[in-house]
Amino acid sequence: MLKESKKKGKAKKRKRKNNWLLSCFQGWRDRYPGGWDVKLVVGLGNPGSEYRDTRHNAGFMVMDELARRFRIARQDYRYEAVLARTRIQGETVLLAKPLTFMNLSGRAVSSLVNKFKINGEELLVIYDDMDLETGRIRLRARGGAGGHRGMNSIIERLGTVEFHRLRVGIGHPPEGIRVTDYVLSPFAPEEKDITARAVQRAADAAEMWIREGIVKAMDSYN
């Protein structure tokens, strides 16, 4: 599980031990142009235990499932995000959970994209979507923010809509419930099973995106 919490007492120790991530990437693309493939998977959400099980953290839930599957044992705190890496079919895959809070997600994503020279074909952003029924997922190769403030922040900071995204449906709020209250509340008890299955399916789709690309993933999961 990619954990968002950061203990002050362990900061120095973590700084010494977690330089592994950047050292793995340092100079790779400069020394081996075209020789290293790096993909970036970003799950959106809000850091902190009070937000952990909320609808707005569907992206974080998928990232935690991917980290479990990939047996991620080490992580780093850089560029305002929790970072981890793995290797899949000869490609380096970077997993990230921004720590900026949802509405400023673009700050962390743009820093990572610029640092690791990620293009739109190498970036997958996973996030919650009210326009999809709870339990459904959908992949797209490009598109607008659709009213999602985290995605709007990313598009503004990157200056493009040309990157891949995976939406996890959370449905519309019931009548009389404000959108903010709805997305920052936990899934209802009757939604938990279908949401858990959606998280698993979204992780499956993200894995296929990593291994076989956006077209194959869309054909299989849309």
Which residues are catalytically annotated? 56
How many residues are recorded in the chain?
A: 222
Contact call for residues 175 and 181 (beta carbons, < 8 A): no
Strand order of the β-sheet with 76-78 is 76-78, 81-88, 91-98, 38-43, 123-129, 164-169, 137-140
Report the C-alpha gap between 25 and 116 in whole angstroms: 8
Helical spans, DSSP H, in the chain: 11-17, 20-25, 28-31, 58-69, 105-116, 149-158, 179-183, 192-212, 214-221
Report the C-alpha gap between 73 and 88 in whole angstroms: 15
Phi, psi (rounded to 5 degrees) for 6: -140, 110
Tokens of 84: 């981890």
Report the C-alpha gap between 206 and 216 in whole angstroms: 11
